[in-house]
Structure 1
Amino acid sequence: MTPATPKSHVLLARQAPVAVIFYRKSRLTTYCLHLDYERRKNGCRDRLSKGSRFYGRLFPERSDLSPDGSLMIYFAMRGKRTAGKSDPSTWTALCSPPWLKAHLFFPNGSTWGGGGVFLRDRRLVVFDTPPKDAGPEYDVFRHYEILRDIKSLPAGERAILEARFRSPAVATFPQPSGGRAKPVLVRTARTHRLGSYEQFDYVLKDAAGYDIDGAEEIVLANWAGWDIFGRLLVAAGRHLNIYEVKPGRPLPEPAKSLDLEAVL
């Protein structure tokens, strides 16, 4: 049997130099890694550290990282070593990444629903029901209000949730820093498949809409996105490549290439 090709997906904190990487090394073995890219005098720290090893499946499109990177909501399915079959038990959990041990546990039992999204103003939407013996921490945890009724949310926030779970066919993401002629990352949705690490195709364009020279390899990425400092992060297999993209110039060689296997 041919070994599975490693795949990776990155969750970026919106307000802190923190990222969490799901590194799916094989079909049912995923590592949760932590990236600290705090800015220093000579650049960013870019330090990887290993967290939990998970046997089963983690669903990246139903997982999210808090704005400060201190909490993560994730949706998972347990794996079971019996006759090549999987135990269908699924759940949503809130944890302190890169450790997957649950602070709050929401049983599911199927692949319907599940997961959650962090909103502004320290609010978290969870798409699962708490256990029967749930205490007050399932309403407020570490100053995060936990919401389950999305009908009462403002229209703008409901739209954010819908975009997370039903991605538009084409989405554009300008570089968050740099000059006026910022490069733009264009993300094209593929046919949806639950739990896929290859949900999108990526193209890097200049401000005028033309493809940037040298950016062909990011088309093959499992994931690509901008960090809070405007660097382009590209995850493909066992590597996370970091690019310093300059407006009006071809894509250079990666400024850094982090080997995810090196921290396991």
Structure 2
Amino acid sequence: MTPATAKSAVLLASAAPVAVIFYRRSRLTTYCLLLDYERRGKGCRDQLSKGSRFRGRLFPERSHLSPDGELLVYFAMQGQKTDGRSDPSTWTAVASPPSLTAHLFYPNGSTWGGGGLFLSDHRLMVFEALPPGAGPEYQNFRKHRILHDANSLPEDEAAALKARLKPPQVTTYPWPLKARGKRQPAIVRTARPQSLGSYDHFDYVLQDGDGYDIKGAEHIVLANWAGWDMYGRLMVAAGRHLKIYEFEPGRRLGKPTKTLDLEAVI
């Protein structure tokens, strides 16, 4: 049997220089890593920390990082499918990354539903029913109010939630900084047909403000993930590497300023 190609997916905190990386080293072995990219002078720390080693499957598209980067909600499956039997054990958990040890644990038992999404004002939507005997921490945990009914959400949050669960065919992510006198460049993400726990759910293209592909960025089409960090740097994850680019609108994309080797951390 040919071993699976290593793949990686990144979850960025929205309000802190923190990211969680799922590094799927082989078909059923994934490492959870933490990236601290706090600004230091003219550069960034870009320090990786090793977390849990997980035997099974983690679902990046059903996982989410809190705005401050201190909590992670994830959906997992442990074991392998067998002919004539139901899905192996699955669950949703809330943990402190890069550890996957569950503070809150929601058994599922199938691949329907699962996972969660952090909302504004310290709210966490979990797509699971409360487990039997759930204590008060399943209502409020570390200043987060935990919700289970998406029908009560405001219209804008309900739309964002729908887009998360069923991504549109094309999504545009503008550069997070103001483009000086120029139209906003963007990452354009195109959805592929999805397979279970896929790390290749999307294709990525880097375009300028007029919708033309930026020269030098052709290789990100082959990436497992691409996104902007909070300082406007381009991050590209592919296999065992996370490449970081200092991006400047109006210019071709040069060589990465840093390449982090995920394999070297584990």
Q: Within 5 A, what are the aligned runs for 1:124-135?
A: 124-135=124-135
The CA deviation string for residues 227-256 of structure 1, in whole angstroms up to 9 with x for no partner, is 000000000000000011111000010010
Contact 2:87–2:111 (Cα < 8 Å) also in 1: no
Structure 1 Cα separation of the partners of residues 78 and 168 of structure 2: 30
Alignment CA distance shift 1:82-1:155 (3 Å): closer
Contact 1:105–1:130 (Cα < 8 Å) also in 2: no
Gapped regions of structure 2 (runs ≥ 5): none
Structure 2 Cα separation of the partners of residues 212 and 80 of structure 1: 42
Aligned to 1:204: 206
Structure 1 Cα separation of the partners of residues 86 and 61 of structure 2: 20
Aligned to 2:186: 184
Contact 1:79–1:86 (Cα < 8 Å) also in 2: no
User: Does residue 108 in structure 1 map to residue 108 in structure 2?
Assistant: yes
The CA deviation string for residues 58-106 of structure 1, in whole angstroms up to 9 with x for no partner, is 00000000000000000000126999x9970000000000000000000
Aligned to 1:159: 159
Aligned to 1:66: 66
Structure 1 Cα separation of the partners of residues 61 and 172 of structure 2: 18
Q: 1:177 Cα deviation (Å)?
A: 1.2
Q: 1:178 Cα deviation (Å)?
A: 4.3
Secondary structure, in 3 states, of the residue corresponding to 1:185? strand
Which residue type is aligned with residue 90 of structure 2?
Answer: T
Aligned to 1:17: 17
Contact 1:80–1:86 (Cα < 8 Å) also in 2: no
Aligned to 2:229: 227
Gapped regions of structure 1 (runs ≥ 5): none
Task: Tell me the TM-score normalized by structure 1.
Answer: 0.96
Contact 1:38–1:45 (Cα < 8 Å) also in 2: yes
Q: Within 5 A, what are the aligned runs for 1:1-264?
A: 1-79=1-79, 88-180=88-180, 181=182, 182-264=184-266
Structure 2 Cα separation of the partners of residues 23 and 79 of structure 1: 18
Which residue type is aligned with residue 119 of structure 1?
Answer: L
Which residue type is aligned with residue 56 of structure 1?
Answer: G
Contact 2:87–2:110 (Cα < 8 Å) also in 1: no
The CA deviation string for residues 201-244 of structure 1, in whole angstroms up to 9 with x for no partner, is 00000011111001110000000000000000000000000011
Task: Tell me the TM-score normalized by structure 2.
Answer: 0.96
Indicate the RMSD between aligned Cα atoms, in angstroms.
1.7
Aligned positions, number: 263
Secondary structure, in 3 states, of the residue corresponding to 1:160? helix
The CA deviation string for residues 175-200 of structure 1, in whole angstroms up to 9 with x for no partner, is 10142433210000111223100010
Q: 1:135 Cα deviation (Å)?
A: 0.3
